[in-house]
C-alpha cells in the first residue's frame, strides 16, 4: 500500500525551502541563504547573470578583466 504523500516543508540542508504562495520576502531570504550555503558564486549568477571571463591584451600578455568592470 502506498503511503500518503506530503508536501509539507521540512528543515533540511539538502532541499530548498518550499514556496507555498504566501510571504514571498521570507521565502526569498531563506532561498538566498540556501543557495549561498551551496556556493556563493551561484547566488551571484542568479542576481547578476552568468559571468563570462574577458581578457584585455596588454602588450604580449593577456590579463583577466575583473567582473565589476
Say whether pLDDT at 9 is over 80. no
Cα–Cα distance, 34 to 36 (Å, whole number): 6
Rg (CA), the chain: 20
The terminus-to-terminus CA distance of the chain in angstroms comes to 60
Residue 57 Cα distances to 53, 54, 61, 66, 68, angstroms: 13, 10, 6, 14, 18
Cα–Cα distance, 46 to 38 (Å, whole number): 13
Chain segment 45-68, per-residue pLDDT in tens: 888 777 777 777 777 767 777 666
For residue 24, the model assigns a pLDDT of 94
Say whether pLDDT at 39 is over 80. yes
Contact 46, 34 (CB under 8 A): no
Q: Which residue has the higher pLDDT, 32 or 64?
A: 32
Say whether pLDDT at 42 is over 90. no
Amino acid at each position: 500500500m502506498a503511503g500518503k504523500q506530503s508536501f509539507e516543508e521540512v528543515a533540511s540542508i539538502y532541499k530548498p525551502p518550499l514556496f507555498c504562495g504566501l510571504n514571498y520576502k521570507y521565502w526569498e531570504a531563506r532561498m538566498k541563504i540556501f543557495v549561498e550555503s551551496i556556493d556563493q558564486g551561484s547566488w551571484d549568477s542568479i542576481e547578476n547573470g552568468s559571468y563570462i571571463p574577458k581578457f584585455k591584451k596588454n602588450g604580449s600578455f593577456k590579463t583577466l578583466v575583473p567582473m565589476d568592470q
